[in-house]
Chains A and B, each alone.
Chain A
Amino acid sequence: MREFFRSRFFKVVMVVLALLLGFMIYAISQNGVGAVTSQIVGAISAPFQKLSSYISETATDFFGKFVNAQEYYEQNQQLREEIAELREDMVDYDKIKRENEQLKELAGLKEEDPNIQMVAATVVARDPSERFGAFTIDKGSLHGIKVRDTVITAEGLVGVVTEVGEVYSKVTTILSPELKIGAMEQGTGEIGIVTGTVALSEENSCKLSNLGTDSEIKEGDLIVTSGAGGIYPKGVIIGKAGTIQTEEHGITSYTKVTPVFDVKTVKQVFIITDFFGKNQGGED
């Protein structure tokens, strides 16, 4: 063993380890721009990942019909119950009307802001070791995407671009504790901060915090981006609020926010590359 630690090979290993450490420090200093190795792997793998992703989805859909038959049956039952509940909810006309206006606002995002620029992209990869639903898309800097661009679907906010290569980008989702998003409930106008937590990410949800203890937000209210800080456009749906709960320190309260779609399984997204008021502030 002592001979090994005195050998030339051991010295080579130490030098390579030191080089890797230096490379890590350099990569961190690049602030979201993909490192050389990531650019190489990304450029080689992007087209194959797209093809493989398509094959995987086709296989999943085919076998899923048989494997998930029981699940589909349960979902069917659940959906029937939800339909019944929704019929009852129709009595609450004002609430439905307000939600409808919110949805219209997202759908009409482009009409309201003529400066908004969007790029459509496909999710091509998700790593098994990723815990908060982060994924890779098939568009990068060559398509005009930059770090911190907002990522949405037709149903609402997905997350933000955190790394950009020439032909790929990495997206961190709203389930991640790394993101802090200025948010508001449009009905009451109350503002707060949406962020992910480890526990809530299990439930495909995130947390709206910094609310007053006298918050009037009710279960089912729609939470949207406030637009403060210029990172996210105003009015993009984040999700539906849960019940208000007081934080342990008792000074503020919070609520669970559940997106109206499964963030961990989105396949098609839009990247907002420009909008009115972008980068007009220092929010992160």
Chain B
Amino acid sequence: MRKTTVSVIKWATYLVLLYLFFIAQTTFSFLGIFDIRPVFIVAFAVAVSMQEREGYAMAFGIIAGFMWDFSSGKTPGFNAAVLMVCCIVISLATMYFIGNNFLNSMMFCGLTMVLQGLLDFLFFYLIWGYADSHLILLRYILPTALYTTVVTPLLFFLIRRLHNKFESLMEQ
């Protein structure tokens, strides 16, 4: 099979999976533990970024971010910008400095969620002066980051398996 064709199929597969996880994230209420649910698309974007080059990671981060902006009601572009930067850093770090394993995927996802959460808390709650806004950080943002970090290995192994499969197809 031609290399370009395999590459197109690979990215189409990634996008379809991202979309399915996006749907699951916004509708699967039974995954909730004390009102906390995982943000699958962040874990997914992190997993893809660890396998792909920085340019593709950037594009994927933007798409995932815009999807998250839509579902969370945040200003369109906010999560897209955050995920774009995080995905580039993750891709470069995995390429040059850090091993490509599930523990590092959890660390990257945790850091991405905490960074996004802190910016979210700063721009959407703290600067508006809502009383007891620290409760949002403790009750929602950090537990959501933790829950998302815990489910990250599942997506990491899924994406790594898909990536290796497509790579072997390209080499044939």
Contacts and interface: CB of A to CB of B under 8 A. Distances in A.
Interface in A129-155: 129-131, 134, 136
Given A52-B28, A128-B39, A136-B26, A198 B130 contact: yes
A35 B67 CA distance: 12
A5 interface: no
A17 B26 contact: no
B72 A129 contact: yes
B136 interface: yes
Given A128-B25, A130-B73, A136-B26, A198 B133 contact: yes
A197 B76 contact: no
B81 A21 contact: yes
Given A23-B76, A52-B24, A56-B30, A127 B71 contact: yes
Interface stretch (B6-14, B54-62, B99-107): B54-62
B30 A125 contact: no
Contacts of A13: 58, 84-85, 88
A38 interface: yes
B166 interface: no
A276 interface: no
Interface in B1-50: 19, 22-30, 35-39
B73 A177 contact: no
Interface string B57-98: 010001000111111111111101100110010001000000
B112 interface: no
Contacts of B78: 24
Contact of B30 (A41, A64, A162, A264): A64
Nearest to A58: B30
Interface stretch (A42-50, A80-88, A218-226, A237-245): A42-50
A129 B120 contact: yes
B140 A56 contact: no
Given A37-B76, A128-B36, A177-B130, A52 B70 contact: no
B24 A202 contact: no
**B: interface residue count bin:** 35 or more
A73 interface: no
Given A16-B58, A16-B62, A20-B84, A127 B26 contact: yes
B132 A198 contact: yes
A199 interface: yes
A24 B72 contact: no
A41 B66 contact: yes
A38 B76 contact: yes
Contact of B135 (A9, A20, A24, A198): A198
Contact of A198 (B30, B39, B136): B136
Nearest to B70: A41
B139 to A, nearest CB: 7
Given A27-B76, A198-B136, A199-B131, A125 B84 contact: no
A184 interface: no
A230 B154 CA distance: 50
Contact of B144 (A23, A128, A136, A197): A128
Contact of A202 (B81, B88, B135): B135
B154 to A, nearest CB: 16
Contacts of B128: 177
A189 to B, nearest CB: 28
A24 B77 contact: yes
12 contacts: A9-B54, A27-B77, A28-B75, A37-B80, A45-B19, A45-B22, A49-B23, A52-B26, A60-B30, A124-B26, A128-B25, A177-B128
Interface of B: 19, 22-30, 35-39, 54-55, 58, 62, 66-78, 80-81, 84-85, 88, 92, 120, 125, 128, 130-133, 135-136, 139-141, 144
Interface of A: 4, 9, 13, 16-17, 20-21, 23-24, 27-28, 35, 37-38, 41-42, 44-45, 48-49, 52-53, 55-57, 59-60, 63-64, 124-131, 134, 136, 162-163, 170, 172, 177, 197-199, 202, 264
